[in-house]
Amino acid sequence: MLKDDILNFNRPFVIAGPCSAETEEQVISTCNRIAGYDDVQMLRAGIWKPRTRPDSFEGLGSEALPWLVEAGRQTGLRTTTEVANTKHVEEALKAGVDVLWIGARTTVNPFAVQEIADSLKGVDIPVMIKNPVNPDLSLWIGAFERFKNAGLNDLVAIHRGFSIYRHPKYRNVPNWEIPIALKEELPDVPMICDPSHITGNRNLLLEVSQKALDLDFNGLMIEVHPTPDLAWSDREQQIEPDKFGALLSALIRRKKNLDPDVKEMMAEVRNKVRTLDDRIFELLSERMRLSQEMGKIKDENNITILQQGHWSKLLNERLDQAESYGLSQKFVRNLLDAIHQESIRHQTKVMNTENKNDKTDH
Ligand code: PEP
Ligand code: MN
């Protein structure tokens, strides 16, 4: 099974190839060049391209399928392409593509995913599922469930980031917590990162690829083109074969198995972290006990729970101190919001109880 091959591969398992198949020569020569790098285990090329605007290049369609299949034959590597409807599935299977992938704009639509899954009932083929364009973990999991229910068990996840309006850095924001949560829910599913579509910028490919490896992703899908500036789609993010090779060599590969002395060092630090975390939770519990006390005072004196002015002052003080604690303002803001919400819940709890008591007393 593909998923076992990925899970057992000495990372990263790399899938590479052009965004779109443009000519036979482009597909076959690019694939042969990248197949020379040991990490490359699968070839990609877009045959049907889901483009945002109708006047963009929408892929050559099935005439280009044999080029990808031939590149696979010449290199001995598996091939993959995106399918977005049952016609694509039928043609890709007929041509002999080894692995199908579901694009982000398809995962978002349960009707489309269901139709594709139904059309694959009884077919033994691996399917890779990209995250939906919107940051919705359940929708992504739902797509896995639809394929599983159709009897397809060789499934792989691809993280390609999430749509956002005018992000200063990324084409699609990574929201790393979502693929991490998917791994928690579906531990047997390998996770591949697609830094090309996350960044939309070839200069950022290395940093995002490295981040994925540091987060224990199983592999990478990277768009490679012989002359990226002349590509028919996704020009800014495609990378030349040589630069792709340089990127692979620049990646720091983290070891899977720890040396015993490193393991010991880590265990020691982890213990300290656990002790600190215990203290943080005890403090939070104490903090909420005080919130309840505060709730009672407010209740007895008929004061609103939310004291906006007081809260804003506290918040700003802490935000100002963030840097001196070595914490980001975003983290401090999220943490204080969470504490504040929990505190309001505790204050409301004591008030409700007292109201109930009032009712029974009278
Ligand atoms: C692609 O891989 O070329 C592609 C269109 O990807 P996504 O579905 O992530 O936009
Ligand atoms: Mn692309």
Domain map (residue ranges) of the chain: 2-250, 260-361
Transcribe 335-356 into DSSP letters: HHHHHHHHHHHHHHHHHHHHHH
How sure is the predictor about 342, in pLDDT bands with cuts at 50, 70 and 90? very high
pTM: 0.83
Q: Could you tell me the distance, in angstroms and rounded to a whole number, from the CA of residue 254 to the centre of ligand 2?
A: 28
Whether the predicted pLDDT of 361 surpasses 50? no
Structure tokens at 346: 């505790």
Q: Find the largest Cα–Cα distance for the chain.
A: 88
Angle (CA) 347-350-356 rounded to 5° is 140
Q: Once rounded to an integer, what is the mean pLDDT over residues 245-272?
A: 91
Q: Could you tell me the distance, in angstroms and rounded to a whole number, from the CA of residue 233 to the centre of ligand 2?
A: 7
Q: Which of 197, 223, 233, 234 has the most ligand 1 atoms within 8 A of CB, as the residue to mutate? A: 197
Report pLDDT for 255.
78
Specify the residue with its C-alpha closest to ligand 1, atom 3: 19
pLDDT more than 90, % of the chain: 87
| pLDDT, tens only, 189-206 | 999 999 999 999 999 999
Whether the predicted pLDDT of 356 surpasses 70? no
| Domain spanning 260-361: CATH 1.20.59.10 | yes
Whether the predicted pLDDT of 314 surpasses 60? yes
| Domain spanning 2-250: CATH 3.40.50.10140 | no
Q: Could you tell me the distance, in angstroms and rounded to a whole number, from the CA of residue 43 to the centre of ligand 1?
A: 14
Identify the residues whose C-beta falls under 6 Å from ligand 1.
19, 46, 50, 103-105, 130, 160, 197
Asked if 50 contacts 227 with a C-beta cutoff of 8 angstroms, the reply is no
Whether the predicted pLDDT of 259 surpasses 90? no
Q: Once rounded to an integer, what is the mean pLDDT over residues 145-156?
A: 98
How sure is the predictor about 52, in pLDDT bands with cuts at 50, 70 and 90? confident
Q: Once rounded to an integer, what is the mean pLDDT over residues 281-308?
A: 91
Compare 182 and 257 and report the one with higher pLDDT.
182
